[in-house]
Amino acid sequence: MPIGINPLIDYAFKMLFGSEKRKAITIRFINAVLVGQPPVTDISFPNTVHSKLSEDGKFFILDVVAEDVLGRKFNIEVQIALPAGMAERMVFYTAETYVRRLQQGQNYTDLLPSISICVLAGALISQPAKLHLDFRLREESLPVTLTDDLQIHFLQLNHLQVTEETLYNASPVERWCWFLRHVQELTTEQVSLLLPDQEFTEAAKVLDMIAQTPEQLQEYNARVKAQRDEEARIIYAQQQGIQIGEARGIEIGEARGEARGEARGEARGEARGEARGEARGEARGIRRGLLQGQILLLQQLLRLPTCTEEQFAACDIDQLTHMLTQLQQRFKEHEA
């Protein structure tokens, strides 16, 4: 019987990578992501009790202090999802981690590197379709890195090209990404056959333990339900927004169409002018109303300041369309 536990649900992810008892799994995962860098040999969880969901319950942060073979200690934060403003939030948390460890009286040379790893079911950047994105402070026109102290890594699981047939020859980070994406469909025995390295078998057993332990399964299902409830809330809000937009568009269209139609009809003295004016005005009004309704909905979902009537009135159709396109892109990043 398949394990049936999705490791990208925050509770399962924490059980898998946030335990002192399973440090070896976390170390192997981190080294797979940071391939080519001095390998991590030990880790600790300074905020194990406080490894937490955000205040709105939408994303999970796992705080890790790591030590490499050179004896350097550095901070790693692993996240599995982020709301709107994903890129900006990752920069903020990475920089915050970098500065908060510097104690009074210490020099800047005492700063510890700060590395963030974000595992995404979707994609932050669609093109090129790259699985592992590695962001650092680099010179724009030269292959020169200012410092490796700040790193942000994204694993975009929907860009994974590895299949079951090519898994054996995949890189370590590709193997971990394949595991995270497919383990819930497999049994622990199948995991051991496909991924014979010990850390994958141990990781599969952790997830299977969640499925077999009533208390843990209850916690896991509660988080799954919370995620589904949030998705349902968003769908309902979208439907309400469309209805509001349609109603608003008809109202605006009728008012503007009638005014324009009457003005043109009177000026031309033609009944046909009035009819055409009403039709065109109503169509444009409906279009504006739909755009405004969708913009307001997305601003509310993304918790952004909403536009006023005066701000809407100052925009033409093209400007409203451009505004909606930008908000839709931010919402896709939010849902990824």
Structurally, the chain folds into a number of domains equal to: 2
- Give the pLDDT confidence score for residue 50 in this predicted structure: 40
Same-domain check for residues 142 and 32: yes
Same-domain check for residues 130 and 247: no
Average pLDDT over residues 103-108: 84
Q: Is the pLDDT of residue 6 over 80?
A: yes
Question: How many H-runs (helices) and E-runs (strands) does the chain carry?
Answer: 10, 7
- Give the pLDDT confidence score for residue 273 in this predicted structure: 47
- The answer to whether position 63 is within a domain reads yes
Average pLDDT over residues 95-105: 84
Nearest C-alpha neighbor of 137 from the set 75, 86, 94:
94
- The answer to whether position 177 is within a domain reads yes
Same-domain check for residues 44 and 192: yes
- Give the pLDDT confidence score for residue 259 in this predicted structure: 67
Same-domain check for residues 305 and 206: no
Average pLDDT over residues 59-78: 80
pLDDT in tens, 253-280: 667 666 666 565 555 545 554 555 566 6
- The answer to whether position 29 is within a domain reads yes
Residue 160: give the domain boundaries: 10-212
Same-domain check for residues 144 and 252: no
Q: Using CA atoms, how far apart are residues 290 and 242, in angstroms rounded to an integer?
A: 7
Q: Which of 212, 247, 276 is the endpoint of a domain?
A: 212
- Give the pLDDT confidence score for residue 238 in this predicted structure: 65
Q: Is the pLDDT of residue 281 over 80?
A: no
Same-domain check for residues 185 and 290: no
Same-domain check for residues 290 and 195: no
- The answer to whether position 228 is within a domain reads no
Name the amino acid, one letter, at 200: F
- The answer to whether position 266 is within a domain reads no
- The answer to whether position 267 is within a domain reads no
Same-domain check for residues 121 and 92: yes
- The answer to whether position 219 is within a domain reads no
Q: Using CA atoms, how far apart are residues 289 and 90, in angstroms rounded to an integer?
A: 35
pLDDT in tens, 106-162: 888 888 889 999 998 888 888 889 999 999 999 999 989 999 999 999 999 999 999
